[in-house]
Structure 1
Amino acid sequence: MMIGEHLKKVRNSKNLTQKEMAAGIVNRSFYSRVENGSSSITADNLMKILYRHELSMTDFLYNFGNTKPKLGVYQQDRITAAYINKDIVTLKEIYINFKYEDIRIKRLLKFLIDELNGVANQRQFKQLNYIFFKQNKWDEETLWLVFHIMEWYEMSDLQDLIDAVIKKCNCENATDRMRHLIVRVAIKYLDICFKQDNKNKVEEIIDLLKFLPNTTDMWIYKMMAVYYDKIFHHKYDEAKSIVNILKMCN
């Protein structure tokens, strides 16, 4: 389902006219074109419309369509969530009980646990990086694995990595899962660049994210692009308002 189509559905559920839905943000005629799919709304304006009407970003983006993940994807996302939340207990539980079709995942889990415990080192990272790319191919598993160790790369190596990822984004053979992982890697690259005060390729990555398809599963990423665009241009108040909206997704 496209954004405009779902906006119309949500607006009707609230018994709002197009003019009421768009008031103070975009004009009614433009909003009408958004609903019928002939115009695209920016992430900035979509956030403002939803925020103005106290609409849940989570409900808007996720509570429709087939969102049931495959088991392997579920386990990968569970590992990612535990790592981001610094949940060592869950990572250890997965490490002990998970059935490893790809041995690289077990190696990654050990590394993540060591990292969160403060005992991971460059030697481990280099061994892990070698194992990840030993087969010299970019697939879903490799993209997912690399996402978790990006902060360990030297910036010059990380820029080479992001170049390869960008090229992969335009590959005809890329699956939907791969495209999602590519975008996650791109967002993490922006975060690392911000922390290290490095702007190399930042504008290129932000543009890549801003022009993602106007589908519901890509809009969180498009909003993240707007957020990083604001902070790299020192518009912190505007960035803060985006953070407040994104918190609705938790």
Structure 2
Amino acid sequence: MTIGERLKEIRDSLNLTQAEMCAGVVTESFYSRVENGKSEINIDDLLAILKQNHVSVRDFFSVFDQSMHQYHCIRSAISNHNIALLKKVQIDQPIFEVEATVIIATLLNKKVHLSDTTRRKIKSNFDRLGEWDETALWNMAGFMSLYDTNELKILVVDIVKNKNNINLNDSSTLVALANVMVSYLGRLYLEEDFGAVLEIIHFIKELPTNPVIMFSKLVAIYYLTLINHDQKRLKLITEVLQKNGYSNYLAWLPKR
């Protein structure tokens, strides 16, 4: 939810027009653009609007605290391949139902079935080539099922090209990047594009040696052992994943 969407929600609950809601603080035309996500309101004007309409600041922002908690849960579910948690989100949090559906499809390497309008709307939020910060990478990690393989290739090539501009010292950003590459790896393997698989495996192996992505590096080696038909090493990696609590993830990895 955006600030504008929250303002509209509050205004509707108060049964006010846009002009009444923002009277004396900002113009109606500017306020309308804020509600529609076309302009950003500064904090002073926002607080003034809330104060004159007797809206508690805590109540106004509480929905964002809840959303952030849910987003952190979803990020954890992506990293741990926790399909059960995402299905629970679909039921308990209707506002995240579509997002959870797309993420589940991404984790299962399946095509998501959405209307073209919904698909375009979601993709428009993060289609920004060359701008791969933490948020963009997490969006990519969760919503890859919206893209066909050719589209994904364009995005992944852009990520690789801009690797030096990505803050790999930030753990959350690094985890997001690793998740993108592991999901893409799964897509390529299913399509038997083994040359590209090897390139992505190399990319993952070259990422910084940080404990937060050791699992992703293990998964990359897992795919390499599949390609090389190295059953002994495959068994060893499988046992390591099982012993470290990744049985859920392991269940969705290809076996041959």
TM range (shorter): 0.5 to 0.7
Rounded Cα–Cα distance in structure 2 between residues aligned with 1:172 and 1:152 = 23
Tell me the secondary structure at the aligned position of residue 194 of structure 2: coil
**Which residue in the other structure is 1:164 paired with?**
158
**CA-CA distance at 1:74 after TM superposition:** 2.8
Residue 126 of structure 2: aligned partner: 132
The alpha carbon displacement at 1:229 in A equals 1.0
Length-normalised TM-score, structure 2: 0.55
Matched with 2:72 is 74
Contact 2:134 2:173 in 1 (8 A): yes
Q: Distance in 2 between matches of 1:95 and 1:114?
A: 17
The answer on whether the counterparts of 1:79 and 1:91 sit within 8 Å (CA) in structure 2 is no
The one-letter amino acid of 1:159's match is K
AA of the residue aligned to 1:193: L
Q: Distance in 2 between matches of 1:236 and 1:169?
A: 33
Q: Which has the larger radius of gyration?
A: 2
Look up the match of 1:247.
242
3-state SS of 1:138 partner: coil
Residues 211 and 144 of structure 1: CA distance in aligned 2, closer, same or farther (over 3 Å)? same
Query: Matches of residues 58-73 of structure 1 in structure 2 within 5 Å?
Result: 71=69
Mapping of residues 81-96 of structure 1, within 5 Å: 84-85=83-84, 87-96=86-95
Q: CA deviation at 1:137?
A: 3.3
Which one of 218, 221, 229 corresponds to residue 226 of structure 1?
221
Is 2:99 the counterpart of 1:108? yes
How many residue pairs align between the two structures? 172
Q: Which runs of 4+ in 1 moved over 6 A?
A: 113-116
Deviation at 1:215, TM superposition (A): 3.1
Alignment of 1:147 onto 2:141: yes
User: In 2 relative to 1, CA 235–183 (structure 1 residues): closer, same or farther, beyond 3 Å?
Assistant: same
Which AA in structure 2 matches 1:143?
A: L
Identity of aligned residues (%): 21
Shift of 1:181: 0.7
Quote the Cα distance in structure 1 between the aligned partners of 2:105 and 2:219.
29
* Partner SS, residue 240 of structure 1: helix
Structure 1, unpaired ranges of 5+: 1-69, 97-104
Query: Quick check: 1:216 aligned with 2:211?
Result: yes
* Alpha carbons 1:82, 1:88 under 8 Å: kept: no
Query: Which structure exhibits the higher relative contact order, with contacts defined as CA atoms closer than 8 Å and separated by 6 or more residues?
Result: 1
Offset at 1:154? 1.8
Secondary structure of the equivalent of 1:214? coil
Q: TM-score, normalised to structure 1's length?
A: 0.56
Contact between 1:143 and 1:182, CA under 8 Å: does it hold in 2? Answer: yes
| Pairwise CA RMSD | 3.5
Alignment check: 8 A CA contact 2:133 2:167 kept: no
One of 162, 175, 187 as aligned partner of 1:192: 187
- Other-structure match for 1:36: none
CA shift, 1:190, in A, is 0.9
Matched residue, 2:113:
120
Instruction: Note if contact 1:82-1:91 (Cα within 8 Å) is conserved in structure 2.
Output: no
- 1:240 offset after TM fit, Å? 3.1
Query: 182-191 or 208-217, which moves further after superposition?
Result: 208-217
User: What residue ranges of structure 2 are gaps of 5+ in the alignment?
Assistant: 1-67, 246-256
- What CA deviation, in whole Å up to 9, does each residue of 1:224-248 have, x standing for no partner? 2211111122324422331121111
Q: Which amino acid aligns with 1:204?
A: E
Distance 1:232 1:195, change over 3 A: same
Deviation string, structure 1 residues 71-117 (Cα, Å, up to 9, x no partner): 57633424535863374223332445xxxxxxxx786246558999x
Tell whether the 8 Å contact from 2:167 to 2:173 is kept in structure 1 after alignment: no
Alpha-carbon distance between aligned partners in 1 of 2:104 and 2:174, rounded to the nearest angstrom: 27
CA 1:204/1:214 → structure 2, altered by over 3 Å: closer, same or farther?
Answer: same
What is the alpha-carbon distance in structure 2 between the residues aligned to residue 160 and residue 226 of structure 1? 24
